Amino acid sequence: MNNIQLDSEGRLRHFLSIQGLNRELLTRVLDTAESFAAIGAQQVKKVPLLRGKTIVNLFFESSTRTLSTFELAAKRLSADVMNLNVRTSSTKKGESLLDTLRSLEAMHCDMFVVRHSDSGAAHFIARHAPSHVSVINAGDGCHAHPSQAMLDMLTIRRHKGSFPNLRVAIVGDILHSRVARSEIHALSTLGTGEIRVIAPRTLLPRSVDSLGVHVFHNMKEGLKDVDVVVTLRLQRERMQGALLPSEREYFRLYGLTEEKLVLARPDVIVMHPGPINRGIEIESAVADGPHSVILEQVSHGIAIRMAVMAMAMQVPVPEAKEAR
């Protein structure tokens, strides 16, 4: 089956979704990111791999952390970078995307990094972009956020070494989370032993069982003996109707606290894709505590995005390390 993300030789062309990518390619992304991770600690924080290339960060949806790390990643690869914050709430999606695309084509760009509130927007652009332009999905609707998933995979691998013996719990608003979907696909592709989702019934998609996860509605049962906990942001901007009784009640039942975390394995790591709502999804004692790797996730985001950009542009990248 034709995979728009890959070229005829199976190399990465676009990075739109974890779905359709195999374990070998995901491992190569992680290994390539490892080779870029030390660049941030060097005196000169740049390599010339994308010198002469032009990358446009095309953000139709607000973002701070993701936009910053994509911009920094591109600059560390020596690319020319342009950020476009475009709001489309009052325009028709197809017309706006195509009009914007045609204008950017005239500027001879080489890569679009796209964030959009509509699921499928990055795929749409990839299908209409010129053949020499790569498209990276920086988050589309409730669909996918593949680079966030891969930076989380890098964080897990650095702490736990490998995936087959792990129990990973994803807690919170699974229904509206593009991060959760991409994480589940990435964990599954990398052979994770057990993937759990913990959420109230109102914040779970109907088809969640088909993703191969174990579903828990009780936080204490779901956290028992897990190696990794990923807490998610409540995405109120995407909620329609009363899905929660109150934030206080949600925190009582599903907020990650020190008291609940003791049920996990002693060396558990705690992650959150940000931004954090303290006292709603997670208490500060956990977010800032010894098990938290939340700030490491941010650092790893730069290395992962450098790896994805370099691989999609198909430039020679540093030798990949042996998979851990």
Q: For residue 62, how many other CB atoms are within 10 A of its CB? A: 12
User: Has 11 been labeled as part of a binding site?
Assistant: no
User: Has 196 been labeled as part of a binding site?
Assistant: no
User: Has 92 been labeled as part of a binding site?
Assistant: no
User: Has 158 been labeled as part of a binding site?
Assistant: no
User: Has 28 been labeled as part of a binding site?
Assistant: no
Residues of the binding site: 65-66, 93, 115, 145, 148, 178, 233, 274-275
Residues of the binding site for carbamoyl phosphate: 65-66, 115, 145, 148, 274-275
Residues of the binding site for L-aspartate: 93, 178, 233
